[in-house]
């Protein structure tokens, strides 16, 4: 909401420094977005009248003018051609400064003195928006539209000695979408009195019922509808002061009638409309729902088709306006309009909003109706408009008003408990101050112990006691409420177990060199093909968004692998040759679609690495996490999964429950993501990991007796896995084997094709005694025999 301060001062007598004003208004609830100080850079530019124009004797393209600036007549040379004698123009005097910083000095142009400069709009820093249409911005001198006192500072003429404050109005305060509304807030904030503008109308000509009849058929959508008639209308430009105010408030002047309706809208918040009465068939106005598919051509010359929920203003035969949104083209005010019907009305806010959306049409008027207007302003506004018509001599007001207002709005009466105010705020505001604050906002207050408060009609947002308390608090000043820490019941703060585990895992992964990523929860449905999912993979059943921003953000992800591949692809293609990433966030799963109740949002841990790494690096990372969480009963077994390289896929099992898959990504999938290097990914169910974690650490006594290490190398067939061999060693070794480490795998010239040699280091130790050579040899042989029998291992010498 743009508020020119000079206009505001018409209604509240304030002489306050602009910065103080802005701060105080913001702190009382009307937040200031910006302040435009006009004309800051304009100096010594005045109004001049052109007395004489002759061609420059030494230059055909130049004109020599004599300009009267009040105190003197100056000779000024200009290259412009649009000036005529008796034009009023802006004159930059010697020593003046233009907004762009240029300093103007007297001098000679082709031998003749020039004592200043005539200015174009562009040179004055004006933009096309703030001028009537058709003014040449750059090449022509700005011909002032009216006569002004000669020598007057151009800043005053152009209304530049003003400030425009832009307020952010929250949508619960439609009453502030008007200069009067802001004036009320200013009066309450600064403890000043409001001055309402005059609505005196002297017109006593004729009677309204001779001109028009009005009926409202759908009063549910139109609680009040008022009409007045203006005859002998003379459509012309509105005066400079009105145009100036409209422009500053962001509305373009058109003609006196339209300008008056806009002026009253800005002033009171009540949008108005003017119809050319001669274009209304049957001299009737009917407010009704449109017929299904009824058409109307609106002011912007577009034809619109309406449905039967949209309210229209109609004459005897057709729609002449879409209520609250836009008037019709055929009844628009034209230059030769002679008689006008002025409409001031309130329409159902929800209906206006729905209609506005359906039509894709949003206007200054509709945006106000949508928020809900005060029905009581209707009459004030229409009388104000008539007052202005008389002031501007735009026509003659016909006596009488048709005001269809079937259900009078009653003022809401509420109760307020003063001690409740202080209880909620934590303050000690005396009752007298409470009353004073409410009265400054035009609430009526009576009573002492329990107050009876009558809410003004323009405050539909105040419905419960807490709303009154907010009114009191904001005018009393939030800054005057003390800050106090809570001294109520002590609550225990902290993270729960799963949250703690999450932080432990993050710390562990950071120590291992991984970076945490955040990727989008919604993805494209094409990801499943891109990661090679079979057609019947149940994870394809994803939750769909019915109004996504785009196809590529239209389903909730059921796996984070596509997101991780995207991150890796992006990094790789930015020449980052290696990286290790992880993410701890959710996948969104549904038992059945469409979703009937909440989804199962499962915390998932995904790890992705590439560069100078291989599968075992990925496995090592996971093993370290398992160690951090004291999970010992886990296994990594060969598996298969469409997204992964068939020979390099594994599943992680904890207590025989599958937690997820890990492995090298299938080359086809890598192709789909434009990744020319090997990538290793693990995606694990973090909920299950958290459940299986054991945060209880118990100290184990240090070994009492020394250990002996024995190395063996066995040759086995290729298909025999390290897990199998290790299991046999540990099984047969039992308690005497304290560690088994695979330290080498050899394939080569000395080993038969299809076989490999695996070298293990076995550490023997007992908790009860120092083992003798015999003890060790016995176990060792048992192991070797088992290896030979179960997996055909041959000892290598």
40 makes contact with other proteins (CB under 8 A): no
546 makes contact with other proteins (CB under 8 A): yes
Name the nearest CA neighbour of 237 among 260, 220, 205, 208. 260
* Separation of alpha carbons 109 and 118, rounded Å: 14
* Separation of alpha carbons 81 and 290, rounded Å: 54
Return the SS3 of 331: coil
Q: Count the neighbouring beta carbons within 10 Å of the beta carbon of residue 280.
A: 23
Of residues 293 and 547, the one with the C-beta less far from other proteins = 547
Are 626 and 617 spatial neighbours (Cβ–Cβ below 8 Å)?
Answer: no
**Options 234, 237, 403, 467; binder of other proteins; rule CB under 8 A:** 467
29 makes contact with other proteins (CB under 8 A): yes
Residue span 224-253 as binding mask against other proteins, x where in contact by CB under 8 A, dash where not: ------------------------------
**Options 139, 292, 516, 614; binder of other proteins; rule CB under 8 A:** 516
**Options 193, 408, 484, 700; binder of other proteins; rule CB under 8 A:** 484
* Separation of alpha carbons 631 and 654, rounded Å: 8
- Enter the tokens of residue 469: 């308390």
479 makes contact with other proteins (CB under 8 A): yes
Least distance between other proteins and beta carbon 738 (Å): 28
* Separation of alpha carbons 290 and 312, rounded Å: 6
Of residues 92 and 176, the one with the C-beta less far from other proteins = 176
Least distance between other proteins and beta carbon 177 (Å): 14
* Separation of alpha carbons 785 and 776, rounded Å: 14
Least distance between other proteins and beta carbon 534 (Å): 26
19 makes contact with other proteins (CB under 8 A): no
* Interacting residues with other proteins between 624 and 643 (CB under 8 A): none
ω before 594 within 30° of 0 (cis)?
Answer: yes
Least distance between other proteins and beta carbon 461 (Å): 8
- DSSP character at residue 247: H
**Options 522, 528, 533, 615; binder of other proteins; rule CB under 8 A:** 522
Of residues 413 and 593, the one with the C-beta less far from other proteins = 593
423 makes contact with other proteins (CB under 8 A): yes
**Options 302, 316, 391, 481; binder of other proteins; rule CB under 8 A:** 481
Helix (H) or strand (E) holding 210: none
483 makes contact with other proteins (CB under 8 A): yes
Of residues 156 and 465, the one with the C-beta less far from other proteins = 465
- Enter the tokens of residue 684: 């694990």
Q: CA gyration radius for the chain?
A: 42
From residue 551, alpha-carbon distances to 537, 560, 567 in Å are 21, 18, 19
Helix (H) or strand (E) holding 77: strand 73-78
**Options 61, 293, 432, 488; binder of other proteins; rule CB under 8 A:** 488
Residue span 559-598 as binding mask against other proteins, x where in contact by CB under 8 A, dash where not: --------x--xx--x-x--xxxx--xx-x-----xx--x
Return the SS3 of 289: strand
**Options 493, 647, 748, 754; binder of other proteins; rule CB under 8 A:** 493
**Options 486, 535, 697, 702; binder of other proteins; rule CB under 8 A:** 486
From residue 194, alpha-carbon distances to 184, 237, 384, 480, 533 in Å are 6, 30, 17, 25, 72
Residue span 171-210 as binding mask against other proteins, x where in contact by CB under 8 A, dash where not: xxx-------------------------------------
**Options 128, 316, 510, 717; binder of other proteins; rule CB under 8 A:** 510
CA angle 278, 282, 287 (to 5 degrees): 100
Are 317 and 281 spatial neighbours (Cβ–Cβ below 8 Å)?
Answer: yes
* Interacting residues with other proteins between 158 and 177 (CB under 8 A): 170-173
State the number of binding residues for other proteins (CB under 8 A).
Answer: 85
617 makes contact with other proteins (CB under 8 A): no
**Options 14, 135, 429, 543; binder of other proteins; rule CB under 8 A:** 543
Of residues 453 and 762, the one with the C-beta less far from other proteins = 453
Of residues 474 and 666, the one with the C-beta less far from other proteins = 474
Least distance between other proteins and beta carbon 692 (Å): 20
* Separation of alpha carbons 183 and 269, rounded Å: 12
**Options 17, 193, 490, 750; binder of other proteins; rule CB under 8 A:** 490
- Enter the tokens of residue 760: 């293990």
Q: Which residues contact 251 (CB under 8 A, 6 or more apart)?
A: 262, 266, 364
* Interacting residues with other proteins between 89 and 148 (CB under 8 A): none
* Interacting residues with other proteins between 306 and 365 (CB under 8 A): 350, 353, 357
């Amino acid at each position: 909401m743009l508020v020119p301060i000079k206009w505001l001062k018409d209604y509240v007598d304030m002489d306050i420094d602009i910065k103080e004003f802005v701060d105080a208004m913001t702190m009382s609830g009307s937040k200031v977005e910006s302040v435009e100080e006009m004309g800051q850079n304009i100096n010594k530019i005045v109004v001049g009248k052109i007395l004489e124009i002759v061609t420059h004797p030494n230059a055909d393209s130049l004109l020599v003018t004599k300009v009267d600036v009040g105190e003197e007549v100056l000779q000024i040379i200009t290259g412009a051609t649009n000036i005529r004698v008796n034009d009023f123009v802006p004159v930059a005097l010697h020593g003046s400064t233009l907004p762009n910083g240029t300093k103007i000095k007297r001098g000679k142009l082709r031998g003749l003195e020039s004592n200043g400069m005539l200015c174009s709009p562009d040179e004055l820093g004006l933009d096309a928006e703030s001028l009537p249409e058709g003014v040449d911005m750059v090449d022509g001198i700005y011909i002032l539209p009216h006569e002004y006192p000669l020598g007057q500072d151009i800043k005053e003429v152009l209304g530049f000695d003003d400030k425009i404050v832009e307020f952010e109005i929250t949508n619960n305060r439609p009453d502030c979408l008007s200069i009067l509304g802001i004036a009320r807030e200013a009066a309450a904030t600064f403890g000043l009195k409001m001055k309402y503008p005059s609505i005196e109308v002297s017109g006593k000509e004729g009677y309204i019922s001779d001109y028009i009849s009005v009926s409202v058929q759908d009063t549910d959508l139109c609680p009040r509808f008022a009409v007045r008639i203006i005859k002998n209308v003379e459509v012309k430009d509105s005066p400079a002061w009105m145009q100036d105010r409209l422009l500053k408030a962001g509305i373009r002047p058109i003609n006196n009638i339209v300008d008056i309706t806009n002026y009253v809208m800005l002033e009171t918040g009540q949008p108005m409309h003017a119809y050319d009465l001669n274009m209304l068939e049957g001299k009737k106005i009917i407010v009704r729902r449109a017929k299904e598919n009824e058409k109307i051509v609106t002011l912007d010359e577009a034809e619109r088709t309406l449905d039967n929920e949209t309210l229209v203003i109609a004459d005897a035969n057709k729609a002449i306006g879409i209520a609250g949104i836009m008037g019709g083209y055929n009844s628009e005010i034209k230059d030769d309009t002679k008689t006008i019907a002025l409409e001031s009305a309130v329409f159902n806010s929800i209906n206006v909003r729905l209609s506005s959306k359906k039509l894709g049409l949003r206007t200054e008027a509709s945006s106000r109706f949508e928020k809900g207007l005060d029905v009581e302003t209707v009459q004030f506004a229409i009388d104000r408009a008539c007052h202005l018509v008389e002031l501007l001599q735009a026509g003659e007001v016909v006596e009488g008003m048709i005001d269809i207002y079937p259900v009078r709005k009653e003022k809401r009466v509420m109760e307020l408990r003063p001690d409740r105010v202080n209880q909620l705020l934590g303050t000690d505001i005396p009752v007298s101050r409470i009353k004073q604050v409410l009265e400054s906002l035009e609430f009526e207050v009576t009573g002492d112990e329990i107050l009876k408060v009558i809410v003004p009609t323009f405050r539909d947002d105040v419905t419960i006691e807490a709303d009154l308390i907010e009114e009191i608090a904001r005018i009393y000043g939030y800054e005057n409420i003390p800050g106090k820490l809570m001294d109520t019941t002590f609550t225990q703060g902290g993270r729960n177990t799963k949250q703690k585990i999450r932080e432990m895992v993050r710390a562990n992964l950071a120590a291992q060199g991984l970076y945490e990523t955040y990727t989008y929860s919604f993805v494209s449905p094409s990801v499943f093909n891109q990661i090679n999912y079979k057609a019947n993979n149940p994870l394809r059943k994803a939750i769909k968004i019915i109004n996504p921003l785009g196809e590529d953000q239209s389903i909730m992800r059921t796996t984070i692998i596509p997101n991780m591949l995207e991150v890796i692809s992006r990094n790789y293609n930015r020449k980052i040759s290696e990286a290790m990433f992880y993410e701890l966030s959710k996948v969104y799963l549904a038992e059945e679609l469409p979703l009937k109740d909440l989804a199962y949002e499962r915390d998932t841990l995904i790890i992705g690495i590439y560069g100078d790494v291989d599968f075992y690096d990925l496995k090592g990372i996971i093993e370290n996490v398992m160690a951090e969480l004291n999970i010992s009963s886990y296994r990594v077994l060969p598996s298969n999964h469409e997204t992964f390289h068939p020979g390099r896929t594994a599943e992680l099992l904890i207590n025989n429950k599958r937690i997820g898959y890990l492995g090298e990504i299938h080359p086809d999938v890598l192709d789909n993501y434009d990744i020319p290097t090997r990538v290793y990914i693990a995606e694990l169910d973090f909920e299950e990991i958290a459940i299986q974690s054991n945060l209880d650490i118990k100290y184990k006594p240090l070994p009492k007796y020394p250990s002996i290490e024995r190395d063996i190398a066995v040759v086995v067939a290729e298909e025999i896995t390290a897990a199998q061999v290790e299991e046999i060693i540990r099984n047969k070794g039992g308690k005497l084997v304290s560690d088994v480490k695979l330290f080498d795998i050899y394939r080569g010239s000395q080993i038969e094709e299809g076989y490999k040699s695996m070298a293990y280091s076995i550490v023997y130790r007992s908790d009860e005694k120092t083992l003798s050579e015999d003890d060790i040899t016995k176990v060792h042989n048992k192991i070797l025999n088992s290896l030979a029998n179960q997996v055909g291992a041959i000892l290598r010498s």
